[in-house]
C-alpha cells in the first residue's frame, strides 16, 4: 500500500546562518547572511536568516546588494583555507543533526548537508501498539500544521472563553477528531503518530545542537519534502493523503522534487500542464511516451500522491569532493597554475579523506578529476583513476596525469591550452577498511563500506552554547541494530484516557503558543501561502462545526487492523533500504603495483603568499597564528562592514605543514586481486629513476620524468612568489617527454586501450596509452 509508510523530512532552518549564530551568539536575532568570498561585489550569499529574508535578501544575491536591501545586515564569511572556501564547519554541524535523528529510527537518510529523511513507520507502529491509535492529542502537536485543515484567521477566537484558537490549532484539532471516527484512515492515524515523533525529534535536535528546524510528515519522501516547505521556520506540516488532490490542484509542477528543472519545464511546455494535479489526466503510457518508462511511471504515481522511493539507510556521503571556479581573468592558463590548484585541492581532499577514514572506517577507491573550459557552450570532462593511498601529493600527481591529456599546449610549455575555468577532485567508491578488527565478517567480505554514522563527530570544541542538560550525548550508537528510540520526551503517554472528544467551541486543550513566531515568521507568499486555507475555505464553505470530509480521494477499501498490510514487502521495515548492496561491488578494484614514486613535496609551502587561511576559528589545526581566541566571535570576520576590499587574508595562519620534498621509498602496492577480471600492470620492465632512485616502469619513464619537471617548476614558482622575485622558469628538469604531446579531445571518443582489461586502470598506465597510442 502506498500509504503504509510514515516518512519525515527534517530540514534545518537557514542552516549556515544558524551555524554562525551558534558560534557567535551576538548575531542571534539579527538580520544575517552567510557569504562566500568577499571581493567580488561583496561575495555571494548562500544562506539567509529569516530576519534578513523579511527585508528582501535572498540567496544568489551579492553581499553588496544585500547591504542595500538591509543595511543592518551582518554578513558572515565562509571560512577559507588553501585559497578556497571550506565548508567543513557546516558539514560537521550537519553531522551533529544526523546523530540526533538517528536516535529515533533505524532508517535515516542524509539527503543533504542540512536535511534527512526518516522512515518512522516502525516507531509509529510500535507506539500505536503500546498506546493505542487515539492517544495523540493536540498538545503533542504544538508546532504542527495539517495540510488541508488549516482554518484560517479572520475573525475568530474572540468569543472563545480566553482560548486563543488559531487556524493551525483548530485544524489540528479537527483532524485529530476526525481520526477517531470508525471510518477514519488507519494510515492517517499513523501520520498523526509520526507527527508526534517528529515534534520530539525536532525538540531533541534543538536541545542537543542548538539548531532549530522544520519538518514534513507524509507517506513518502516527495510528500514529506513538499509539505516541509509549507510552514518553514520552526514548524512542521503533516500531509494526509486525502489532502493531496487539493494541494496538487494549485501546485506548480516545478515545486515537486525532481521536477524543478528541464523535466518540469518540458511537461508544462509540451503537455500544457501547469499544476501537479493536471498530470493525473494522462495515462501512464502517455507519460512514458513523454519522458521514458521509468520517469513516466514515476510521474503517473506521483501526481496521485504516490512515490515508492525508499528511505535509504545511509548517514554519510558517498563521495567527497572539492573544487573551485576560476572565472574570467582568474582562469588557469599555465601549467603552474594548474599544478598549484591541483595541489591545493589534493591537500584538502586528502585531509578530508583521512578524517573520513578514521570516522567511518572506509577508504575511497576512485579518484575523479574534472574541469570546465569556457566557450559556447562551455565544455567539461572528467577522468578517473584508482586511489591507492591517502596522500595529497599522490592524489595531486595522479590528477595531473589525468588532466594533462587535455592540455593542447605542449607538455613542456608554460601555457595550458584551453584555460580551465573550473577544476574539481572527487573521491568515491568507498569500501570498508581492510583493518582487521573492523566490522563484522559479512560486511567485510562483501566489501561494503560502513555508511552509518559511527561515533560522535569528536564533538569538537564547538561548544553547545545552547545545548543544555547532560542529555544523551553518550552516543552508544554504533551502527545499525542498536538504535532504539529513547530520547527524553516528556509528553508521552497520555494514556488512552481522554480521547479528545469535543466539538469546536467547547473547551479544548489547545496549546495556545504558536510555538514560534518571530521576525522570521514570514511565510512564503508564493504558492505556499495560498495553501494555508482549508478546502472548506477555498470552496467558500463554512467551517463552523464542520468536520471536513476526509473522503473524495481514493480511500482504499482497506482491510482493517493496523497490521493488515504487514505482508506487503515489509510493513514495519517498510522498505527501508539498508545499504548493503554491492554484494559484489563493481569495483573490486584490484590493488595494483604502484608505478610511480611519490614525491612528497608536490609543494611544501604550497601556500602562495596571497592565499591565506582564514578565520582563526577555534584552536584548529592551525600552525601558529595565535589569535588569542577562544570565543566564537573572534572568527570569521563577521565583517558586515567595510573590508569590502579584501579577498585577502581574513586572518592569517599558515597552512599546516605538508609533507616535504623528500622521496620516499615506494611501498609498491601489491597487485592482488580477488577477482580474475582485474588486470594489473606487471611489475616487470622496471627501471630506476635517476632523480629519485625509485623503480619505474620503463615505458612510463617519460611521464615520470615529466613529473619531476613539473614539480620542480612549481616549487620554483612558489619560492619566487614568496620571495617576491621575478620569475622565469628554467627547469633543470631533465624533461624527456615532449614530442609525445597528444591531447585528448573532450567530446570525442577516447583512444583505445591496451588489450588489457581491468577494472580501474592505473592512472599512469592509462595515461601512457592514451598518450601515445
Ligand X SMILES: Nc1ccn([C@H]2C[C@H](O)[C@@H](COP(=O)(O)OP(=O)(O)OP(=O)(O)O)O2)c(=O)n1
Which residues are near ligand X by CB under 6 A? 11-16, 46-47, 113-114, 232
- CB of residue 260 to Mg ion, shortest distance in Å: 13
Number of alpha helices (DSSP H) and beta strands (DSSP E) in the chain: 19, 20
Among 327, 505, 648, 742, binds DNA (CB under 7 A): 327
Residue 593, CA distances (Å) to 183, 596, 662, 673, 753 in order: 68, 9, 21, 11, 18
Opening angle at CA 15, ends 513 and 357, nearest 5: 130
Q: How far is Cα 13 from Cα 38, in angstroms, rounded to an integer? A: 24
Among 19, 93, 259, 387, binds DNA (CB under 7 A): 259
Which is nearer to ligand X, 216 or 245 (by Cβ)? 216
Among 4, 11, 80, 307, binds Mg ion (CB under 5 A): 11
Backbone angles phi, psi at 528, to 5 degrees: -60, -30
Which is nearer to ligand X, 15 or 298 (by Cβ)? 15
Is 292 a residue that touches DNA (CB under 7 A)? yes
Is 4 a residue that touches Mg ion (CB under 5 A)? no
Which is nearer to DNA, 138 or 224 (by Cβ)? 224
Question: Which of the choices ligand X, Mg ion, DNA, none does residue 53 contact, using the CB cut-off of 5 to 8 A by kind?
Answer: none
Is 750 a residue that touches DNA (CB under 7 A)? yes
Tell me: cis bond preceding 709? Omega within 30 of 0 counts.
Answer: no
Q: What number of other Cβ atoms are within 10 A of residue 575's Cβ?
A: 17
Stretch that binds DNA, among 170-178, 408-416, 423-431, 710-718 (CB under 7 A): 423-431
Segment 293 to 312, residues that bind DNA, using CB under 7 A: 294-295, 312
Question: Which of the choices Mg ion, DNA, ligand X, none does residue 545 contact, using the CB cut-off of 5 to 8 A by kind?
Answer: none
- Interhelix angle 186-209/121-131, nearest 10 degrees: 110
Size of the site for DNA (CB under 7 A): 67
Residues 6+ apart with CB under 8 A from 570: none
Q: What number of other Cβ atoms are within 10 A of residue 474's Cβ?
A: 8
Is 767 a residue that touches DNA (CB under 7 A)? no
- CB of residue 144 to ligand X, shortest distance in Å: 17
Backbone angles phi, psi at 687, to 5 degrees: -135, 165
Residue 628's Cβ-count burial label (10 Å; 0-12, 13-18, 19+) is: exposed
- CB of residue 476 to ligand X, shortest distance in Å: 29
Q: How far is Cα 49 from Cα 44, in angstroms, rounded to an integer? A: 15
- CB of residue 14 to Mg ion, shortest distance in Å: 7
Which is nearer to ligand X, 232 or 324 (by Cβ)? 232
Which is nearer to DNA, 43 or 439 (by Cβ)? 43
Is 324 a residue that touches DNA (CB under 7 A)? yes
Which is nearer to ligand X, 13 or 617 (by Cβ)? 13
- CB of residue 587 to ligand X, shortest distance in Å: 29
Is 198 a residue that touches DNA (CB under 7 A)? no
Q: List, in sequence order, every residue forming a beta bridge with 36; answer none if it has no partner.
A: 44
R_g (Cα) of the chain, nearest Å: 29
Q: Is 515 left (phi over 0), alpha (psi -120 to 50) or beta?
A: left
Backbone angles phi, psi at 344, to 5 degrees: -65, -45
Backbone angles phi, psi at 522, to 5 degrees: -55, 115
Tell me: cis bond preceding 377? Omega within 30 of 0 counts.
Answer: yes
Segment 59 to 88, residues that bind DNA, using CB under 7 A: 59-60, 84-87
- CB of residue 699 to DNA, shortest distance in Å: 20
Among 14, 45, 273, 453, binds DNA (CB under 7 A): 45
- CB of residue 114 to ligand X, shortest distance in Å: 4
Which is nearer to Mg ion, 113 or 661 (by Cβ)? 113
- Interhelix angle 701-723/335-360, nearest 10 degrees: 100
Which cell numbers hold the place of 453?
554514522
- CB of residue 259 to DNA, shortest distance in Å: 5
Is 225 a residue that touches DNA (CB under 7 A)? yes
Q: How far is Cα 312 from Cα 581, in angstroms, rounded to an integer? A: 11
Among 18, 36, 220, 361, binds DNA (CB under 7 A): 36
Is 109 a residue that touches Mg ion (CB under 5 A)? no
When CB distances to ligand X are compared, the closest residue is 47
Q: What number of other Cβ atoms are within 10 A of residue 334's Cβ?
A: 18
Among 26, 112, 662, 732, binds DNA (CB under 7 A): 112
Interaction mask 67-106, Mg ion, x per CB under 5 A: ----------------------------------------
Nearest CA among 250, 252, 213 for reference residue 111: 213
Cβ–Cβ under 8 Å, residues 446 and 430: no
Stretch that binds DNA, among 105-113, 230-238, 530-538, 700-708 (CB under 7 A): 105-113
Backbone angles phi, psi at 646, to 5 degrees: -105, 120
Which cell numbers hold the place of 379?
565544455
Residue 722, CA distances (Å) to 539, 616, 648, 657, 716 in order: 72, 22, 15, 16, 10
Contact residues for Mg ion, defined by CB under 5 A: 11-12, 15, 114-115
Contact residues for DNA, defined by CB under 7 A: 11, 36-37, 39-40, 44-46, 59-60, 84-87, 91, 111-115, 225, 256-264, 292, 294-295, 312, 317-325, 327-330, 348, 366, 368, 370, 374, 380-384, 422, 424, 426, 428, 586-587, 746, 750, 759-760
Amino acid at each position: 500500500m502506498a500509504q503504509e509508510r510514515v516518512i519525515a523530512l527534517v530540514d534545518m532552518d537557514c542552516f549556515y546562518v544558524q551555524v554562525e549564530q551558534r558560534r557567535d551568539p551576538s548575531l542571534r536575532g539579527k538580520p544575517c547572511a552567510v557569504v562566500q568570498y568577499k571581493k567580488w561585489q561583496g561575495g555571494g550569499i548562500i544562506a539567509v536568516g529569516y530576519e534578513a529574508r523579511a527585508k528582501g535578501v535572498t540567496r544568489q544575491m551579492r553581499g553588496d546588494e544585500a547591504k542595500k536591501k538591509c543595511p543592518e545586515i551582518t554578513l558572515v564569511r565562509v571560512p577559507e583555507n588553501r585559497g578556497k572556501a571550506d565548508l567543513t564547519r557546516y558539514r560537521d554541524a550537519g553531522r551533529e543533526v544526523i546523530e540526533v535523528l538517528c536516535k529515533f529510527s533505524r532508517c535515516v537518510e542524509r539527503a543533504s548537508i542540512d536535511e534527512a529523511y526518516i522512515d518512522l513507520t516502525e516507531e509509529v507502529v510500535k507506539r500505536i501498539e503500546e498506546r493505542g491509535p487515539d492517544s495523540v492529542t493536540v498538545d503533542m502537536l504544538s508546532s504542527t500544521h495539517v495540510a488541508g485543515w488549516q482554518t484560517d484567521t479572520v475573525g475568530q477566537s474572540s468569543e472563545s472563553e480566553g482560548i486563543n484558537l488559531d487556524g493551525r490549532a483548530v485544524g489540528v484539532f479537527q483532524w485529530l477528531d476526525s481520526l477517531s471516527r470508525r471510518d477514519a484512515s488507519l494510515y492517517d492515524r499513523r501520520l498523526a503518530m509520526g507527527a508526534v515523533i517528529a515534534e520530539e525529534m525536532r525538540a531533541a535536535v534543538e536541545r542537543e545542537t542548538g539548531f532549530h528546524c522544520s519538518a514534513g510528515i507524509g507517506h513518502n519522501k516527495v510528500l514529506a519534502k513538499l509539505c516541509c516547505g509549507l510552514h518553514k521556520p520552526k514548524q512542521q506540516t503533516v500531509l494526509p493523503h486525502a489532502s493531496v488532490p487539493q494541494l496538487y490542484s494549485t501546485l506548480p509542477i516545478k515545486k515537486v522534487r525532481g521536477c524543478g528543472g528541464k523535466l518540469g519545464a518540458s511537461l508544462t511546455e509540451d503537455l500544457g500542464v501547469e499544476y501537479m494535479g493536471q498530470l493525473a489526466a494522462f495515462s501512464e503510457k502517455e507519460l512514458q511516451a513523454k519522458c521514458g518508462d521509468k520517469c513516466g511511471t514515476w510521474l503517473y504515481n506521483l501526481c496521485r500522491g504516490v512515490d515508492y522511493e525508499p528511505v535509504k539507510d545511509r548517514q554519510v556521503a558517498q563521495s567527497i569532493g572539492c573544487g573551485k571556479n576560476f572565472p574570467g581573468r582568474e582562469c588557469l592558463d599555465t601549467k603552474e597554475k594548474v599544478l598549484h590548484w591541483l595541489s591545493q585541492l589534493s591537500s584538502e581532499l586528502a585531509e578530508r579523506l583521512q578524517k573520513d577514514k578514521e570516522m567511518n572506517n572506509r577508504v575511497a577507491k576512485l579518484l575523479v578529476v574534472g574541469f570546465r573550459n569556457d566557450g559556447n557552450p562551455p565544455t567539461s570532462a572528467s577522468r578517473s583513476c584508482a586511489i591507492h593511498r591517502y596522500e595529497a601529493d599522490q592524489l595531486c600527481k595522479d590528477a595531473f596525469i589525468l588532466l594533462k591529456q587535455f592540455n593542447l599546449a605542449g607538455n613542456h610549455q608554460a601555457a595550458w591550452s584551453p584555460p580551465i575555468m573550473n577544476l574539481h577532485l572527487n573521491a568515491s567508491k568507498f569500501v570498508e577498511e581492510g583493518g582487521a578488527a573492523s566490522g563484522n565478517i559479512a560486511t567485510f567480505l562483501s566489501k561494503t563500506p560502513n555508511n552509518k554514522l559511527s561515533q560522535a563527530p569528536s564533538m569538537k570544541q564547538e561548544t553547545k552554547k545552547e545545548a543544555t542538560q547532560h542529555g544523551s550525548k553518550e552516543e552508544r550508537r554504533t551502527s545499525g541494530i542498536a538504535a532504539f528510540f529513547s530520547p527524553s520526551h516528556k509528553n508521552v503517554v497520555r494514556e488512552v484516557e481522554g480521547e479528545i472528544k469535543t466539538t469546536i467551541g467547547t473547551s479544548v486543550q489547545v496549546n495556545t503558543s504558536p510555538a514560534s513566531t518571530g521576525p522570521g515568521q514570514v511565510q512564503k507568499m508564493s504558492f505556499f501561502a495560498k495553501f494555508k486555507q482549508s478546502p472548506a475555505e477555498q470552496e467558500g464553505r463554512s467551517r463552523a462545526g464542520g468536520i471536513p470530509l476526509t473522503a473524495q480521494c481514493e480511500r482504499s477499501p482497506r482491510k482493517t487492523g493496523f497490521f493488515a498490510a504487514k505482508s506487503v514487502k515489509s510493513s514495519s521495515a517498510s522498505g527501508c533500504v539498508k545499504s548493503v548492496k554491492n554484494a559484489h561491488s563493481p569495483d573490486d578494484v584490484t590493488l595494483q603495483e604502484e608505478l610511480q614514486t611519490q614525491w612528497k613535496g608536490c609543494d611544501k609551502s604550497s601556500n602562495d603568499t596571497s592565499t591565506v587561511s582564514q578565520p582563526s576559528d577555534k584552536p584548529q589545526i592551525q600552525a601558529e597564528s595565535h589569535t588569542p581566541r577562544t570565543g566564537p566571535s573572534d572568527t570569521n570576520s563577521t565583517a558586515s562592514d567595510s573590508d569590502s576590499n579584501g579577498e585577502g587574508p581574513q586572518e592569517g595562519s599558515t597552512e599546516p605543514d605538508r609533507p616535504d620534498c623528500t622521496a620516499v621509498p615506494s611501498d609498491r602496492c601489491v597487485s592482488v586481486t580477488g577477482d580474475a577480471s582485474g588486470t594489473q600492470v606487471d611489475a616487470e620492465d622496471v627501471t630506476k629513476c635517476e632523480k629519485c632512485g625509485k623503480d619505474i616502469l620503463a615505458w612510463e619513464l617519460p611521464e615520470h620524468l615529466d613529473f619531476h619537471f613539473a614539480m620542480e617548476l612549481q616549487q620554483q614558482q612558489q619560492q619566487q612568489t614568496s620571495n617576491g622575485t621575478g620569475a622565469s622558469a628554467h627547469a633543470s628538469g631533465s624533461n624527456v617527454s615532449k614530442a609525445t604531446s597528444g591531447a585528448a579531445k573532450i567530446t570525442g571518443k577516447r583512444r583505445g586501450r591496451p588489450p588489457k582489461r581491468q577494472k580501474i586502470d592505473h592512472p599512469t598506465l592509462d595515461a601512457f596509452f592514451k598518450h601515445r597510442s
